Amino acid sequence: MIPIRFGYKASAEQFGPGELLDYAVLAEEVGFDSVFISDHLQPWLHEGGHAPASIPWLGALGARTSKVLIGTSVLTPTFRYNPTVVAQDFATLGVLYPGRVILGVGTGEALNEANLGITWPEPPERFQRLKEAIGLIRRLWSEDRVNFDGTYYHAKNITIYDKLDQPVPIYIGAAGPAATRLAGRIADGFITTSGKKRELYTDTLLPALEEGLSKEGRAPGSIDTLMEIKVSLDETLEAAQEKTRFWAPLALTPEEKMGIDDPIEMQRLGEELPIERAASRFIVSDDPDEHVERIAWYVSLGFRHLVFHDPGHDQEAFLRRYGTEILPRLRARFGA
């Protein structure tokens, strides 16, 4: 059985690389088991936004920490990055920090890819690109010399010279059944995010994951299941709710943000939302026990890796309070 772990989501869209690195180092110090960073070319908000590059940042994080797992949640290995480059980058990180690196991947979004002149394809093509990219990355990690002639990617006489015998785990991020089934079939882990209708998890995503596992003869619970849980804990309920305003674009529906490739427009749409809707994706409470109870629901569904994302600007206060008041309660309850 995969142990229960608790992680910190480093908000690359909200903080510059140095400040974010200090927070991630503190996360290890106060007892978090992992640190994951998103990989954005552009943030959700133009004003006050940031977008440090995830791969060099992870290299710096590995050097300043000793035990936390580190990874992307998630990187798109299909447009801005050629999968061969991703294979080389994460093989190097794996050699530098063995047993600590995770490559989390997804199908991407227009905000990070389309402005490079890439024609933004429909979801079925993005899915097929991801599937092919993962296959190429794994061949590069497992074979001495690779020639590959795929539908979307090609490699000729490629060797990744610096790599481990035990490759970096690949987790697939998904919000729909097709990518979730793919995670069950081929991935080392599955990533999704909290705060959506419970039926999405109980009736769609988790059954799709089990279907994928079963199709490949893999046992239930044989891969890591990572839930990014959006949380806002403060001294008052009003303060906890107000903190979520920066992340209002997260509450936009897929239809509302489909194809948007400009942070200025994404910010405008987010600012039009009432605070109640901005807060709807978060566990918003001034009561630590309520946070634990609502987090426990995701554990009851079978998620074993809970990565917490706080929307506030005072990340040190969040990390210290969660490290003192929430993580001990969770570890006592679930034996982590």
Calpha distance 140→157 (Å, rounded): 10
Find the helix or strand (DSSP H, E) in which 227 lies: strand 224-233
Q: Which of 13, 28, 40, 113 is catalytic?
A: 40
Residue ranges in the chain assigned as alpha helix (H):
17-29, 54-64, 83-96, 110-113, 123-142, 177-186, 198-199, 206-215, 237-242, 254-257, 263-271, 275-278, 288-301, 315-321, 327-334
Distance, first Cα to last Cα, the chain: 12
- Residue recorded with tokens 């490290």: 323
Task: Find the angle CA(225)-CA(226)-CA(228) to the nearest 5 degrees.
Answer: 155
Q: Which helix (H) or strand (E) holds 285?
A: strand 283-285
| 272 counts as catalytic | no
List the one residue out of 81, 70, 86 whose CA is nearest residue 34. Answer: 70
Closest CA to 251 of 298, 199, 197, 305: 197
Q: Examine the residue annotation and report whether 46 is marked as an active-site residue of this protein.
A: no
Task: List phi, psi (to 5°) of 10.
Answer: -80, 120
Residue 76 has phi, psi (to 5 degrees) of -105, 110
Token pair belonging to 258: 């489909």
C-alpha separations of 271 from 45, 237, 247, 250, 314 in Å: 10, 21, 10, 11, 21
Q: Give CA–CA dist 119/117, Å, rounded.
A: 6
Q: Annotated catalytic residue: which of 109, 113, 132, 242?
A: 109
Q: What residues are labeled active site?
A: 40, 109
